[in-house]
Amino acid sequence: MKNRKFMLCLPLALIFFFTLLPMAYADLYWVSVVKTGGVPKGLPENLPKEIRDQMLAQFKSETDTQKHYLTPYASRTETKQGITIMDFESMTIYQLNPKNKTYTKIDMTSMMKGQMGEMARKMAEDSKTTRTNETKKIAGYRCRKYIVTIMGSESEYWMSKDVKGYKEFEALNEKMLKKHPEFKQMQMGGFTGKEGFPIETVTNMMGIKTITLLEKIEKKSLSKELFKIPAGYKLVEMKIPFK
């Protein structure tokens, strides 16, 4: 079920990934608190109660503290579900499962040439970002509200330029697009880094509401060991339905 949820969210994750690319020119470490809740919409009316209850149980409200590590060459995200490492040089995603010491490997370049990439590109092309005049202070940062519309759903992005290092965001984005120009279409809503760092985001997708709030952020030198597969982990095949 976790793999299924991962695959369903992968196109959105890719778009979010390319939105974050500009933020890695300097090594950054930040912690976010993510609250998710709601009931998925669009479930068939004739589903047996047992199956419906089982599906709804997968979307119970929960809170997760996530850790993010970002460099010009790789990123690492730690959540309750596991660890995700993205190698920008090889354009590879590694999903680590610390419980059973296994990992999966996804070649993003190959995947983006298939149906999954086409889906993600269409979602990115259909997205629209609107800068508003609404401002407020969140977690001590002066923020401006942006509305991102994608697949008919609206999300709020509260961006701040008070975050240290935000001016460096655009540099990595330019570097990445020079090396991988095929990913130009993946820039959701046209975010370039000039808008600031996302302090709080409120997303709504198919009845599921997710609130992500920045808890702390700092510029620091990160060890390359953070972005390597630990010794003793076994590679397992992950079947992708769309290639």
Q: What are the pLDDT digits (tens) for 93-137?
A: 999 999 999 999 988 877 767 666 677 677 767 778 899 999 999
Considering the domain boundaries, does residue 242 fall inside one? no
Give a yes or no: residue 240 inside a domain.
no
- Examine residue 241 and state whether it is found in any structural domain, yes or no: no
Residue 236 has pLDDT above 90, yes or no: yes
Residue 77 included in any domain: yes
Q: What is the pTM of this model?
A: 0.76
- The DSSP result for 98-152, as a single string, is TTTTEEEEEEHHHHHTSHHHHHHHHHHHH-EEEEEEEEEEETTEEEEEEEEEETT
132 vs 62, residue with greater confidence: 132
pLDDT score of 59: 63
Assigned domain for 168 exists: yes
Q: Is residue 160 part of a domain?
A: yes
pLDDT band at 24 (very low <50, low <70, confident <90, very high): very low
pLDDT of residue 177: 63
- For the domain that residue 158 is a member of, what is the CATH number? 2.50.20.10
Q: Please state the rounded mean pLDDT for residues 188-204.
A: 75
Nearest 5 degrees, angle CA 66-CA 35-CA 82? 35
pLDDT at 33: 96
Total domains present in the chain: 1
Asked whether residue 133 is domain-assigned, the answer is yes
Please tell me the predicted confidence (pLDDT) of residue 152: 73
125 occurs within a structural domain: yes
In this structure, of 120-124, 151-155, 193-197, the range with the lowest mean pLDDT score is 120-124
State which H helix or E strand residue 160 sits in.
Answer: strand 153-160
pLDDT above 80: residue 138: yes
Which residues, in sequence order, are CB contacts of 126 under 8 Å at separation 6+? Answer: 150, 151
**Domain extent for 159:** 2-235
* Cα–Cα dist 221/167, whole Å: 18
Q: Which residue has the tokens 């190959």?
A: 110
pLDDT of 165 > 80? The answer is no
Measure the CA–CA gap between 85 and 46, rounded to whole angstroms: 40
